Amino acid sequence: MHIQFAELPVFDQDRAKAFYTGHLACQLIADQPMGDSGWRWIELAFPHAVTNLHFVRRANAEPGTEPVLVLVDDNVEQTTAALKARGVEIVTEPQEAPWQPGRTVAEFRDSEGNRMVLASR
């Protein structure tokens, strides 16, 4: 058993799709209309991951206050530096996780204002 997808609230689907494919190397799995609402079913896959990412409609463009996902990465420092170089907002620089000594974490905001955690294995 595994989780098929995690839902991520977004305000602008095209902007979010560009962010995740461009900055985090996600592959587009699906991009299909959902009725007459103008909203689309967009599903992305992270490299080597089982769980995909699915966009759900966000009520407004207000930035989130709490992290919505934890992304596990082999090199948090390098990934954070690469995101920063591309203009991505870094909320917290890489540091040891206060709740798990020996684990490195950093936080950034995606194109939709969602707080995301990068964490070492």
Asked if pLDDT for residue 43 goes beyond 90, the answer is yes
Run of H or E including 79? helix 76-85
Give the DSSP letter of residue 26.
Answer: P
d(CA 52, CA 50): 6
Q: What pLDDT score was predicted for residue 61?
A: 80
Asked if pLDDT for residue 36 goes beyond 90, the answer is no
Summarised one tens digit per residue, pLDDT across range 100-114 is 999 999 999 999 999
Whose CA is closest to 67, among 42, 97, 26?
Answer: 97
Ordered by start, the domain boundaries in the chain are 5-119
Asked if pLDDT for residue 44 goes beyond 90, the answer is yes
Summarised one tens digit per residue, pLDDT across range 45-98 is 999 999 999 999 998 888 888 899 999 999 999 999 999 999 999 999 999 999
Q: What pLDDT score was predicted for residue 118?
A: 96
Q: What pLDDT score was predicted for residue 26?
A: 97
Q: Does domain 5-119 have CATH number 3.10.180.10?
A: yes
